[in-house]
Amino acid sequence: MAIFSDLGIQHSNVHVNLSSEALIQLSLETDKGSALSDTGALMVYSGEKTGRSPKDKRIVLEESTKEHINWGDVNQPIDPASFNQAKNNAIAYFNTCKDLFIVDGYAVWDKKNTIKVRIICTKAYHALFMYNMLIRPTQQELANFGTPDYILYNAGATSADMSIKGITSTTSIQLSFEQKEILIFGTEYAGEMKKAIFSLLNYLMPLKQILSMHCSANESEIGEVSLFFGLSGTGKTTLSADPRRKLIGDDEHIWSDNGISNIEGGCYAKVINLESEKEPEIYQAIRKGTILENVVYNPTSNKVDYTNKSITENTRGGYPIEFINNAKTPCIGSHPNHIIFLTCDAFGVLPPISAINSEQAQYHFISGYTAKVAGTEMG
């Protein structure tokens, strides 16, 4: 389509901002192994990678941003020339694919800090995943969307070129703040896209004196806000989906002078051992429009076996936040009244529940004691 020719994309079959229903149908037709569960959710497989690949992330070393980044094992640099070479590879790959999908959406509900994001990908299920996870524009907002602030190129179905300087694996996630672009190669795990947007905001928000937070949030009937901090798998999504409280968000937020705001328009829940009795809000959200990633199901009944972790322990469900009955939209709240740190303490260092003062809270927030949960990261 001509509107993307300025990006080097010369493709005759670009699907732009399709509905959830259309993306589900295309996924069933084009994504290998996809099927509908007995509740109508779209079941898909991410291939070899069933978790994130943090060791394969790179940030472009640029004059305008390099002094603001804490370089090291987590934030590893890559040259601008290498990024541009990889981007050309992504576009060349796009032009060989049968289908291309464009999804436009917003990140951050707080209007003062909202950014416009465009996703370009080759899989219908990836498009549906980001349709669920970004804040969904109205038809009028789409008509006036204009130029996005950031573009994510998901070429995850093809390998990264290891001959390019700085790329050390066939999997590569690269972020350029100057070019306002993100590249993904060598992984079809959908969570890589949402975390790439979070990485972006982890840089942008602190520069505006705003705290970006890996936490869930909910609100009481009288407007008191609670935050739940913790690594993936420690219980943020489960604890925030409380029938007695309004859900603000399950994973990513910012805290500004105005209060807190969800970054996302959806939830990405771990569904291993999911039971209707223990997590009723999440269980009922697994329906038409939801993506179930890497679950095992009965091929006769299409009923999901949530206890089966033969593919991965990191089985996931991705759905729009309004699939939770008591979700609060817009997903914003006042300054928090309660802050809870969740750990998966495999060593018995901490008592089951600890009440801590503000100095201890600062210490534990910075030190971030926990234990990583199996399956959420590759390796």
Q: Catalogue the active-site residues.
A: 52, 195, 214, 232, 236-237, 251, 316
As a whole number of Å, the CA-based R_g of the chain is 20
β 77-78/57-60 pair status:
parallel
d(CA 163, CA 169): 10
Chain-centre distance for alpha carbon 7: 24
Phi, psi for residue 100 in degrees, rounded to 5: -135, 140
Per this entry, what is the length of the chain?
379
**Cβ count near 26 (within 10 Å):** 20
**Residues in Cβ contact with 126 at an 8 Å cutoff, skipping those fewer than 6 apart:** 101, 119, 154, 156, 188, 190, 193
d(CA 220, CA 226): 8
Tokens 């805290």, residue? 255
d(CA 89, CA 85): 6
Q: Is the peptide bond before 330 cis (omega within 30 degrees of 0)?
A: yes
d(CA 128, CA 158): 20
**Joined tokens for residue 99:** 């289908």
Cα maximum dimension of the chain: 60
To the nearest 10°, report the CA torsion of 354, 359, 365, 371.
-40
